[in-house]
Chains A and B, each alone.
Chain A
Amino acid sequence: MAKDLPERVTLLGIRHHGPGSARMVEAALERTEPEIVLIEGPPEGDALLGHVPDLTPPVALLLHDEAEPASAAFWPFAAFSPEWRAMVWANARGVPVRFFDLAAAASLAEEPSGARKASLDPLGTLAEAAGFDDPERWWEDVVEHHTDPADLAEAVAEAMTALREEFADEVDDRTLRREAAMRQNLRQALKDTDGPVAVVCGAWHVPALRTLPPASTDAAMLKGLPKKKVSGTWVPWSHGKLATASGYGAGIDSPGWYAHLWECAPRGDTVARWFARACTVLRAEDLPASTASAVEAVRLADTLAALRGRPSPGLSEVMEAAKAVLCNGDQVPLDLIHDRLVVGERLGEVGADVPTSPLAADLDRLTRRLRLPLNATPKQIRLDLRKDTDRERSKLLRRLEVLDVPWGTPDTTRTLGTFAEAWQLHWKPEFAVALATAARHGTTVAAAADQVLTGRAADATRVVDAAETLSRSVGCEIPTAVTAARTALDRCAAAATDALELLAALPDLATTVRYGSVRGTDPELLRVALHGLLARGAVGLPLACRGVDDDTAERAIAAVDGADDAVRLAADDDHRDTWRQALRSLVAMPDAHGLPTGRATRLLWESGALDSDAVAARLHRAVSLAAGATAFVAGFLRGSAALLTADPRLFGVVDDWLSGLTTADFEAALPLLRRAVAEFSPAERRMLGDRVKGSTRGATATAADWDEALATRLATHVRSLLAEAAP
């Protein structure tokens, strides 16, 4: 049999994060002086309530499953949250406070994702029915002039009862279970004290708490719920994260405005102060905003409120007035006011005595174990990846990088081989913020990095992105992320239509394959991915070089170079053949751009797949097509000074071609040749010059028809060429 709640219980139905509700709660607590305060929230958080004086809101209560830290949830509170006010009030007076919602152990089990579901905003619904767009304004309008908080609480309870009947379908099993738990905890509180009890909970739950059914009914509902060990902490929160825009289900649109309402209410200068702050925001961006305009804006906002029959201007009135008066009807400065003031970027603080977030605790543990203290001054370190500690350190730095905590920057200027890495370490205080943000990804560094990488892999649309995620995953040594990135790579490669894009992803991947064994990832797995990309890219390469402009040709030559390095570094024999075959068909393709074709010819020649005679024939053939010749030669020569000096036949071929050019053709060819030669180091250029000067020695071996006059002419050309190209 259900019985009514005893008189000594005050039910305070609130709107979460509502400053109006917060005021109501404060007044009601002052008046009723309860001996126990019950607040909607998980009872596991009770242990953390002692830390309230050390906190600066906005902060969030973070609870997570000890066995499976990734299963976690946040309960955020701002300074103007009624729950927060109740905690502060009780703490100041030494009144015991308890969270009395369903245990987090049970709610975490229901929602492994850790996010709270968006639920019906009951006060919002009432406000809408009354024709208000902002529930907080409605609350202010309806509630402000109520003097007796108990009366008000009664009115709220009645309205909610009606609403609960209306939306009976919206009440799911979970809500019913939560309310059963609330009633059980309330019974316990009634047993513990004979004095007044105050209950602060969402207005929606008030009707369910007004009568107490037999305890056995509630106990039956709560039977068999999972029991887990849950631990938690306070983490700094921000106004931006309170806003609905960041995807937090039970969030509010305008935390900055609510904070402003809360702070200004005792002073009674809400609107004037708001516009003064808006003017400051605009002036900081060098936009005109005079005090006179602020005065006019206040007048317009007041008039609009009067016109709409409201006791005082609300957010919509002040924003409309700001747009018409301060922003000249322009949306851009208004957006600025919205971001800075309506949402606001306030960050909470958590005192040093409060246990840190599990992620921070994990990092703390790792840095101590790896003897890698957080350093405020930059420091260089060298890691030998064959040593376990160093490998763990590298892993940690890479994982933090993924979490936007760039504590270490890899030094890529020096190549130290497969087994060594150089890092620049510098810990900055703002990383604490990034770390707190990353806390939502997971409760350990590994889990958080895993979630970020898996997410990135799922979002990747381009081969390059997927390959980058893959190499990062391998660097971080997270097998699940590696698998996800592999899948993403396959997906992107299948969808990619540009062979050059596919090939461009190869060098990164090849390095990854090479590091794979050190990194504890099976290199074969990655090699398969590399081969897949290579096969697709090789098929498309010749066509991708056909009939393209010079810019694309530059991309193509870079892709061919990179892919060739990658093939030599990491591909097996079969795929090396596939690649050679692709280069051959590129060389054979008649209308391909000269730049990649020339480079392909060189690569084939270097690898021994083409002998020097064939190259000579190929060069002559290219030269006979006047237009493509320079591009071909440029592609052929780029970065090959040593070979040019060493192979007399190659030298002879180039020599013949150069000296055979007419003056006009030579001048036309000069820019491209210079670009090819400019890449040679001074030493190489000197070597090549020597070779030209002393050409009789090498050239006689192959060139029977030696012509002294021709040689002099060529030598002059090359000398002027080299002199001009020299820095």
Chain B
Amino acid sequence: MTTETVLRPAAEQQYAAELDALAKADDRPRPPRWRMSPQAVVRYVLGGTLPDGTVISPKYVGDRRLVEIAVGTLVTDRALLLVGVPGTAKSWLSEHIAAAVSGDSTRVVQGTAGTGEDAVRYGWNYARLIAEGPSEAAIVPSPVMTAMRLGAVARIEELTRMPAEVQDSFITILSEKTLPVPELGIQVQAVPGFTVIATANDRDRGVNQMSSALARRFNTVVLPPPASEDDEVRIVSARAAQLGRALELPAEPPALEEVRRVVRIFRELRNGSTVDGRTQLKRPSGSLSTAEAISVVTSGMALAGHFGDGTITADELASGLLGAVVKDRVSDTAAWQEYLEAVVKERADWRDLYRACQDR
């Protein structure tokens, strides 16, 4: 499979060249089974230029210290828990770190309300189980089990969405670093290099609080929303341009000004006050994450490319904005209308956006 033929290539496919260059240039000690040294992992995530001139693109825009703590945790073979509100690049960071450390970010368990223990531990190939009886060949290993055998990184997405009893099956894996298979009387012991990166969301509805026994087995890194408007604009425009290329959208990447407008609207509604701090605003119920801002811009690009003249205008943004802000018909509509009247209308160069939003 080449990167051109899939909708969304994995990190290690998309950035294969960067990873190779980093591994080649890396002369620092590597922990067992790591593809590169911890310093190189940090550089891969935050970007930079290698001595041979290879440019490493930044994957995560934000505090360097957080990335260092995250990578440092993996060096100590402790499990890493990335916590944050939706859209703070938890999964994004987890994927890229896994790709850089183990060269494979696809050993993922997705946590949902329906995730069972066999997704975390192992399942059975029932045809074989019935035909041959219990044997190692009849076991269907979970991504975690595979990672333990290989000494690689296993990723757990949305850990807190799993039922509490399934979450707790990680306790043995994380503290003893073994996975017993009582049916066969054996246990799979993890080899050096095995570790777990989990992501969890502490704000959403429908999450199961982690037991403190499990929480103790993780080092926790809290990912904050982008600190400044400029950071967020940088994230949104870079990601929108990438996605536009990947989806082969005919539109031009949007002008920085349009991205800035979207980001400012999101930030102001998220913080409940305008940038200058003069006007108090109602907060909509949605999380208004950076990820949603990116999707507003890409959907604007799609609209502009297919139905407009290829450049994003206020009209294309308006529909996306409305959808992103108004999650609850009654209260959010009021918040949005208030914002339009009190803030958007007052800004002279935002008139086009005001008119476009009022038309809907």
> Could you list some 13 contacts between A and B, CB below 8 A?
A296-B219, A300-B69, A300-B73, A300-B219, A303-B38, A303-B72, A303-B73, A307-B38, A325-B78, A328-B220, A329-B81, A329-B83, A329-B221
A303 in contact with B75 given A293-B216, A316-B65, A324-B69 (CB within 8 Å) = yes
**A288 within 8 A of partner (CB):** yes
Contacts across chains A and B counted by CB atoms under 8 Å: 56
Residue numbers in B under 8 Å from A321 (CB-CB): 69
A329 in contact with B220 given A303-B75, A307-B42, A324-B73 (CB within 8 Å) = yes
Residue numbers in B under 8 Å from A330 (CB-CB): 220
Whether B76 pairs with A307 at a CB distance below 8 angstroms is no
Interface SS of B by simple majority: helix
Rounded to whole angstroms, the CA-CA distance of A324 and B215 in the bound complex is 11
Whether B72 pairs with A307 at a CB distance below 8 angstroms is yes
**A299 within 8 A of partner (CB):** yes
Convert A285-328 into 0s and 1s, putting 1 for each residue whose CB lies closer than 8 angstroms to a CB of B.
Answer: 00010101100100110011011100000001000110111011
Residue numbers in B under 8 Å from A288 (CB-CB): 212, 216
B55-102 CB contacts (< 8 Å) to partner A: 65, 68-69, 71-73, 75-76, 78, 81, 83
- In the complex, which residue of chain B has the Cβ closest to the Cβ of A290? B216
Rounded to whole angstroms, the CA-CA distance of A292 and B83 in the bound complex is 22
**B222 within 8 A of partner (CB):** yes
**B242 within 8 A of partner (CB):** no
Interface SS of A by simple majority: helix
Q: Whole-angstrom distance from the CB of B164 to the nearest CB of chain A?
A: 17
Convert A164-184 into 0s and 1s, putting 1 for each residue whose CB lies closer than 8 angstroms to a CB of B.
Answer: 000000000000000000000
Q: Whole-angstrom distance from the CB of A560 to the nearest CB of chain B?
A: 36
Whether B219 pairs with A307 at a CB distance below 8 angstroms is no
- Interface set of B (CB-CB < 8 Å, partner A): 38-39, 42, 65, 68-69, 71-73, 75-76, 78, 81, 83, 212, 215-216, 218-222
Given A307-B68, A321-B69, A327-B220, 7 more A-B residue pairs with CB atoms under 8 Å apart are A288-B212, A300-B73, A300-B76, A308-B68, A325-B219, A328-B215, A330-B220
Q: Whole-angstrom distance from the CB of B36 to the nearest CB of chain A?
A: 13
- In the complex, which residue of chain B has the Cβ closest to the Cβ of A302? B76
Q: Whole-angstrom distance from the CB of B151 to the nearest CB of chain A?
A: 18
A113-164 CB contacts (< 8 Å) to partner B: none
Q: Whole-angstrom distance from the CB of B234 to the nearest CB of chain A?
A: 22
Whether A324 pairs with B221 at a CB distance below 8 angstroms is yes
- In the complex, which residue of chain A has the Cβ closest to the Cβ of B84? A329
Q: Whole-angstrom distance from the CB of A645 to the nearest CB of chain B?
A: 57
- In the complex, which residue of chain B has the Cβ closest to the Cβ of A297? B219
Whether B76 pairs with A299 at a CB distance below 8 angstroms is yes
Q: Which of B65, B76, B81, B83 contacts A320 (CB 8 A)?
A: B65
Rounded to whole angstroms, the CA-CA distance of A296 and B76 in the bound complex is 8
Residue numbers in A under 8 Å from B75 (CB-CB): 303, 307
- In the complex, which residue of chain B has the Cβ closest to the Cβ of A331? B222
Whether B76 pairs with A303 at a CB distance below 8 angstroms is yes
Residue numbers in A under 8 Å from B212 (CB-CB): 288
Residue numbers in B under 8 Å from A308 (CB-CB): 68
Residue numbers in A under 8 Å from B216 (CB-CB): 288, 290, 292-293
Residue numbers in B under 8 Å from A304 (CB-CB): 68-69, 72
Residue numbers in B under 8 Å from A325 (CB-CB): 78, 219-220
Residue numbers in A under 8 Å from B221 (CB-CB): 324, 329
Rounded to whole angstroms, the CA-CA distance of A635 and B222 in the bound complex is 59
Rounded to whole angstroms, the CA-CA distance of A321 and B71 in the bound complex is 12
Residue numbers in A under 8 Å from B72 (CB-CB): 300, 303-304, 307
Whether B219 pairs with A324 at a CB distance below 8 angstroms is yes
- In the complex, which residue of chain A has the Cβ closest to the Cβ of B68? A307
- In the complex, which residue of chain A has the Cβ closest to the Cβ of B70? A324
Rounded to whole angstroms, the CA-CA distance of A321 and B78 in the bound complex is 12
- In the complex, which residue of chain A has the Cβ closest to the Cβ of B78? A296
Rounded to whole angstroms, the CA-CA distance of A329 and B83 in the bound complex is 8
Residue numbers in B under 8 Å from A307 (CB-CB): 38-39, 42, 68, 71-72, 75
Rounded to whole angstroms, the CA-CA distance of A330 and B78 in the bound complex is 18
Rounded to whole angstroms, the CA-CA distance of A324 and B83 in the bound complex is 11
Q: Whole-angstrom distance from the CB of B67 to the nearest CB of chain A?
A: 10
Residue numbers in B under 8 Å from A300 (CB-CB): 69, 72-73, 76, 78, 219
Convert A321-355 into 0s and 1s, putting 1 for each residue whose CB lies closer than 8 angstroms to a CB of B.
Answer: 10111011110000000000000000000000000
Residue numbers in B under 8 Å from A299 (CB-CB): 76, 78
Q: Whole-angstrom distance from the CB of A369 to the nearest CB of chain B?
A: 56
Rounded to whole angstroms, the CA-CA distance of A293 and B81 in the bound complex is 15
Q: Whole-angstrom distance from the CB of A63 to the nearest CB of chain B?
A: 43
Rounded to whole angstroms, the CA-CA distance of A290 and B212 in the bound complex is 12
Q: Which of B68, B71, B78, B222 contacts A329 (CB 8 A)?
A: B222
Residue numbers in B under 8 Å from A296 (CB-CB): 76, 78, 219
Rounded to whole angstroms, the CA-CA distance of A487 and B88 in the bound complex is 53
Residue numbers in A under 8 Å from B219 (CB-CB): 296, 300, 324-325
Q: Whole-angstrom distance from the CB of A296 to the nearest CB of chain B?
A: 6
Rounded to whole angstroms, the CA-CA distance of A537 and B71 in the bound complex is 66
Residue numbers in B under 8 Å from A303 (CB-CB): 38, 72-73, 75-76
Whether A324 pairs with B76 at a CB distance below 8 angstroms is no
Residue numbers in B under 8 Å from A320 (CB-CB): 65, 69
Residue with the highest number of chain B CB atoms closer than 10 Å, among A300, A307, A325? A307
Q: Whole-angstrom distance from the CB of B111 to the nearest CB of chain A?
A: 18
- In the complex, which residue of chain B has the Cβ closest to the Cβ of A328? B220
Rounded to whole angstroms, the CA-CA distance of A377 and B215 in the bound complex is 52
Residue numbers in A under 8 Å from B42 (CB-CB): 307
Q: Whole-angstrom distance from the CB of A325 to the nearest CB of chain B?
A: 5
Q: Whole-angstrom distance from the CB of A57 to the nearest CB of chain B?
A: 33
Q: Whole-angstrom distance from the CB of A406 to the nearest CB of chain B?
A: 41
Q: Whole-angstrom distance from the CB of B280 to the nearest CB of chain A?
A: 21
Q: Whole-angstrom distance from the CB of B221 to the nearest CB of chain A?
A: 6
A220-275 CB contacts (< 8 Å) to partner B: none
